[in-house]
Structure 1
Amino acid sequence: MVLLRFAPSPTGFLHLGGLRTALYNYLYARKLGGKWILRVEDTDATRYVPGSVENIQESLNWAGLDYDYGPSKGGPHGPYFQSERLDLYRWYSKKLLDSGHAYRCFCSADTLASTRERLARTGSNETYDKACLHLTDEEVARRVKAGDKHVIRLNDSTMPDRPPGHDIVFGTWKENHGSLPTDPILLKSDLYPTYHLASVVDDHEMGITHVIRGEEWLPSLPLHLDLYACLSLPPPEFAHIPILLKADGTKMSKRSGDAQVIDYIKHGYEPGAILNWLVLAGWGAKHEKPSDAPVSSAPDHARAGAKLKSEDAFLPDSTSIMTLPEMIEKFDLHTLTHRRSILDQVKLKYLNRHHLLQRMSTPEGLDSIVAQLYAYVQETYPASEYATEEYVRKLIPTINVVTFEHFKESMPIFFIEPDLYTSEAQGMVGGMNNATYKAVLQKMISLIENPGLVWEHDQLEIEMRATGRDGPWTPKVIMTVMRHALTGVKAGPAVADIMHVLGRERTLRRLRKASEEDVVKSWRSWHGKSEHAKLPVR
């Protein structure tokens, strides 16, 4: 069975880069008819962040990425926390010791630091002098029996021959063992494994057929392939996906609040839009047809889909709107770019608006939005006579939303009377005199009082703009005065939409109240200007 895994460390809340890795594992597993595992790599207790495991699970659940096996679900491959698999790593470490592919190192931290400095001064690329490799079996046994602290290192001078490394995304590349530490540590002195040993052991023991992980692990792939060869185990297929960058070009980090999934949840983004945004980051590149030569010693079923022609693959536009089922159908690892991708927040807003409108286009989706907003309105405006489900349903079409939070941000103008004296409100009418402001309102009041005026959005828009064309004010002046009197805020739905939702009587009440006050005069006095100063009427 095709089996993939998403294996985060509980060292912080899930960020966008981690969610994209989980998404790619989910998509590829579903595309190949397989399953995927959530495995928690918690072997570094010093970096553990309380609540991070729960956050990872909640974020995946919010995104709709349902893993088949893992914490809280169980399955045939458990346990799913590496801290509960320590005996397994010790067993494999002993196997490497017995075969001569590993040895015990008793050097202290101070000794190792001194050795690194000495080797660096000689111009050597090595990071360790293999001093403990030359200890006799008797000396090693004596020190182990005495309880001397030690680690287990890989003996990189005994590596067996193996096929060259191959990656689904990057193809065959030149391996550089020189960038790896000399005789890397596999098991630490606290008997916890390093990532290298634990990932290799767990991927084999769990039956993982494909490993999709971040590009930062590509330099370690030669070491991992060496470990598979030393243990006489068939490696899985590997795909390293290019790193995501923030808008400023820096790498995603668990410590960066703006990159955490929870922040996008709080800001009301649609999960489908976030997945759409992430899946498009770096997808759509044309590469040469992958080689038909064997890429590893993995079983045939583990290489399913490895020979797809990229020219036959779906190459999406940078703003393609896709649902999760469509992503599964069209996704192809072979069409990922080799370059790192910057996440474009403008693109996310575009995608989110379309996904939100898509949700609103179905009766079930619209009902869910109404229910969410109605609960919010009841809590926020409990004394308002307009805090009804019917009224909420009426105002939803008027709001030009980007995220669900925009609904909430647009609510106040429909439930509370506007404050015309805030700095924002006063700034809206700062370019006209008080006489102009009142004259515009009186004209609009007369228009609205006409019983023959059809109270419908398009007709309201037509009548107001026609008044502007007839003079003496431009449509812009009329719309500015109306927006100020009705809302007191610069941004929001179209003026005609606001009027339509408020109704004729509430609209007239607000306009009359504004016309009775010296709004612009008050603004001038705040700024130390004469009440009699004259500005041109526009």
Structure 2
Amino acid sequence: MTTPIFAPLRTSKTPPSIHPTTPVRTRFAPSPTGYLHLGSLRTALYNYLLARSTGGQFLLRLEDTDRTRLVPDAEQNIYDSLRWCNMTVDEGPETGGKYGPYRQSDRKDIYQHYVQILLDKGLAYRCSCSKDRLNSLRESAMKLKPPTTVTYDRKCAFDPQHSHTSDDSVIRFKSPDKYEQFDDLLHGKLDLQPQYNYNDRRYDDIVIMKSDGLPTYHFANVVDDHLMKITHVIRGEEWLPSTPKHIALYRAFGWEPPSYVHIPLLTSLGDKKLSKRQGDIGILSMKEKGILPEALVNFVALFGWSPPRETPGVSTSESMTLDQIIKSFSLDHLTKGNAKVNDSKLYFFNKHHITLAINDPQKFQELVDSNFDKFHSFSGGKYNKDYFAKVLKYLGPSLSSLDEIETLHRYIYEPVNYAELTKIPSPDFVHILDRLLHLSSTSFDENVKLLLKENPELTKKDIFQTVRFALSGGTSGLTIPLLIDLLGEQEFKERLTRATEVIIKKA
């Protein structure tokens, strides 16, 4: 009977802290078979935070040995995504380092050397079984009672005729009869054994070298982590069943495995595993949606971690910069339950970080510089960067994403299309617009006071709603004085005039 994955074998209290007290070396090892998405970013971020919080190093390694599935621009996308999120890589394909190369496809000779060591020790063997035979073994294994996912019968290890080298042969690792228990820093001591059917003995002999001479993930990640002196591996729970195999490979070489932390799955609010559509959204596509990197990092950091409470019983703000997250990050505050992805929370953080950027002169200038080209494009090239800076300064605190300038606040850069509007003020209020056109005071507030004095039957709400209809089609977000300042006196009067015509025509 298989031991449940999340049933720790010990019941003793968790040590006071599982967070390292010395500098660690962590790595992010994506496969460039697609764009960086939320789950991958979370893995990268936690490894980054652990390295930075301990004064250690964060490595980037590309696991690109599955040559058939590589996406041409995926490697560059990984670099660009990490850079956009302000996650500095200490060692990697771009930055170099003394433990390179950092692309697995460039390490073929290294893997050949280490696989030969296992062959010489009798801990690995060549397998020439055909795909048809392997498929037949899988099918028969599933028909056993009890069925088993361990399918290979070790024919090529037992039969010398099948142990010779051929063009399509692979190399298998000779797995131990029983995997050792291991410690996961988050889940405790775990004993994960495959389910065997002892009436028809099969073996968990994983392939470690493919017929093309390139290693499988299982073998390459063990060799690389050891040679690159990785001390801690943070990865998703889906890798838990593979961990005993990896530790067995470490033991076969006489190496000490790193410390493991397996973090929970990302799920929707309905507690379902994120679908491809939800979870595989490219990180850089968030940039196109007007999300700030600071907000995205803040959002992703909370997928299985929570900041410690500074004062017992008093909640701590979850809105944090990357530097604040690094200072607060500890493995002690990781959570075991699935992490729910709630887009509304992302936009909450985004609004917070847009406001922070607006109030910081340097960050505000960076925000203007990095987003002006897009604004210049969709606004028809009519406005300069100073105008865009003014738009951001005025409108920014009400924005949940920067793309709302284009989608919700088009009145900022183009005339209001009154024909699209369904809510039109009563003709009784036309005189409000007409009177404002002829008042000499430049202060909108002063003009409102004068209108109320001249027309006791009016309310401020009547005036504000009528004027907002004229200036923005009724869209809120800016106070009317700021909107008037942004549009300028000429455009202000033109919109009052056009709105007056529309209201009269609809009467």
TM bucket (normalised to shorter chain) is 0.7 to 0.9
Q: Which amino acid aligns with 2:255?
A: L
Q: Which amino acid aligns with 2:123?
A: H
Larger Rg: 1
Contact 2:26 2:59 in 1 (8 A): yes
Do the aligned partners of residues 197 and 467 (structure 1) sit closer, same or farther apart at CA in structure 2, a change above 3 Å counting?
A: farther
Take 1:312 and 1:42, find their aligned partners in 2: how far apart are those partners? 43
Do the aligned partners of residues 211 and 23 (structure 1) sit closer, same or farther apart at CA in structure 2, a change above 3 Å counting?
A: same
Do the aligned partners of residues 452 and 275 (structure 1) sit closer, same or farther apart at CA in structure 2, a change above 3 Å counting?
A: same
Do the aligned partners of residues 257 and 337 (structure 1) sit closer, same or farther apart at CA in structure 2, a change above 3 Å counting?
A: closer
Do residues 516 (structure 1) and 501 (structure 2) align?
Answer: yes
Do residues 175 (structure 1) and 215 (structure 2) align?
Answer: no
Q: CA deviation at 1:131?
A: 1.9
After superposition, give the CA deviation of every residue in 1:178-234 in whole Å (9 maximum; x if it has no partner): 399722221122222111111111101111111111111111111111111111111
After superposition, give the CA deviation of every residue in 1:81-113 in whole Å (9 maximum; x if it has no partner): 111112222222222222222222221111111
Do residues 188 (structure 1) and 210 (structure 2) align?
Answer: yes
Match of 1:15 in 2: 37
Take 2:312 and 2:55, find their aligned partners in 1: how far apart are those partners? 19
Match of 2:152 in 1: 128
Match of 2:435 in 1: 446
Match of 2:366 in 1: 368
Contact 2:126 2:171 in 1 (8 A): yes
Greater shift, 363-372 or 201-210, is seen at 363-372
After superposition, give the CA deviation of every residue in 1:337-388 in whole Å (9 maximum; x if it has no partner): 111111111111111111111111122222233445654555455674xx24
Do the aligned partners of residues 190 and 506 (structure 1) sit closer, same or farther apart at CA in structure 2, a change above 3 Å counting?
A: closer
Q: Which amino acid aligns with 1:516?
A: E
Do residues 471 (structure 1) and 457 (structure 2) align?
Answer: yes
Match of 1:428 in 2: 423
Q: CA RMSD in A?
A: 3.2
Take 1:223 and 1:272, find their aligned partners in 2: how far apart are those partners? 37
After superposition, give the CA deviation of every residue in 1:267-301 in whole Å (9 maximum; x if it has no partner): 1211111111111122139xxxxxxxxxxxxxxxx
Contact 1:168 1:334 in 2 (8 A): no
* SS of the residue 1:485 aligns to: helix
Contact 2:418 2:502 in 1 (8 A): no
Take 2:490 and 2:203, find their aligned partners in 1: how far apart are those partners? 77
Q: CA deviation at 1:476?
A: 5.0
Do residues 224 (structure 1) and 246 (structure 2) align?
Answer: yes
Counting only pairs closer than 5 Å after superposition, residues 329-478 of structure 1 correspond to structure 2 as: 329-372=327-370, 374-376=372-374, 378-381=376-379, 384=382, 387-399=383-395, 400-409=398-407, 412-422=410-420, 425=421, 427-429=422-424, 436-437=426-427, 439-447=428-436, 449-452=438-441, 454-455=443-444, 470-471=456-457, 478=463
Q: CA deviation at 1:492?
A: 4.3
* SS of the residue 1:176 aligns to: coil
Take 1:187 and 1:53, find their aligned partners in 2: how far apart are those partners? 23
Match of 1:525 in 2: none
Match of 1:152 in 2: 171
Take 1:356 and 1:21, find their aligned partners in 2: how far apart are those partners? 25
Contact 1:313 1:330 in 2 (8 A): no
Q: CA deviation at 1:493?
A: 2.8
* SS of the residue 1:153 aligns to: strand
Contact 1:105 1:152 in 2 (8 A): yes
Do the aligned partners of residues 88 and 373 (structure 1) sit closer, same or farther apart at CA in structure 2, a change above 3 Å counting?
A: closer
Do residues 40 (structure 1) and 92 (structure 2) align?
Answer: no
Take 2:377 and 2:344, find their aligned partners in 1: how far apart are those partners? 31
Take 2:41 and 2:447, find their aligned partners in 1: how far apart are those partners? 46
Do the aligned partners of residues 351 and 107 (structure 1) sit closer, same or farther apart at CA in structure 2, a change above 3 Å counting?
A: same
Take 1:467 and 1:249, find their aligned partners in 2: how far apart are those partners? 58
Do the aligned partners of residues 88 and 519 (structure 1) sit closer, same or farther apart at CA in structure 2, a change above 3 Å counting?
A: farther
Q: TM-score if structure 1 supplies the norm length?
A: 0.80
Contact 1:314 1:331 in 2 (8 A): no
Take 1:477 and 1:324, find their aligned partners in 2: how far apart are those partners? 45
Q: CA deviation at 1:114?
A: 1.3
Do the aligned partners of residues 373 and 330 (structure 1) sit closer, same or farther apart at CA in structure 2, a change above 3 Å counting?
A: closer
Match of 1:507 among 489, 492, 498: 492
* SS of the residue 1:421 aligns to: helix
Stretches of structure 2 that go unaligned for 5 or more consecutive residues are 1-22, 197-201
* SS of the residue 1:259 aligns to: coil
Do the aligned partners of residues 98 and 312 (structure 1) sit closer, same or farther apart at CA in structure 2, a change above 3 Å counting?
A: farther
Match of 1:27 among 49, 54, 71: 49
Q: Which amino acid aligns with 2:429?
A: V
Do the aligned partners of residues 181 and 506 (structure 1) sit closer, same or farther apart at CA in structure 2, a change above 3 Å counting?
A: farther
Q: CA deviation at 1:495?
A: 3.8
Q: CA deviation at 1:513?
A: 2.5
* SS of the residue 1:156 aligns to: coil
Contact 1:284 1:316 in 2 (8 A): no
Match of 2:318 in 1: 320
Do the aligned partners of residues 263 and 395 (structure 1) sit closer, same or farther apart at CA in structure 2, a change above 3 Å counting?
A: closer
Match of 2:199 in 1: none
Match of 1:242 among 258, 261, 264: 264
After superposition, give the CA deviation of every residue in 1:239-258 in whole Å (9 maximum; x if it has no partner): 11112224564444667586
Q: CA deviation at 1:481?
A: 3.1
Do the aligned partners of residues 410 and 192 (structure 1) sit closer, same or farther apart at CA in structure 2, a change above 3 Å counting?
A: same
Do the aligned partners of residues 118 and 504 (structure 1) sit closer, same or farther apart at CA in structure 2, a change above 3 Å counting?
A: closer
Task: Give the share of equivalent positions with the same residue, in percent.
Answer: 34
Do residues 90 (structure 1) and 107 (structure 2) align?
Answer: no
Take 2:66 and 2:77, find their aligned partners in 1: how far apart are those partners? 18
Match of 2:72 in 1: 50
Contact 2:437 2:496 in 1 (8 A): no
Match of 1:112 among 134, 142, 149: 134
Do the aligned partners of residues 52 and 392 (structure 1) sit closer, same or farther apart at CA in structure 2, a change above 3 Å counting?
A: closer
Match of 1:487 among 469, 472, 484: 472
Contact 2:309 2:316 in 1 (8 A): no
Do the aligned partners of residues 342 and 382 (structure 1) sit closer, same or farther apart at CA in structure 2, a change above 3 Å counting?
A: closer
Q: TM-score if structure 2 supplies the norm length?
A: 0.84
Contact 1:313 1:335 in 2 (8 A): no
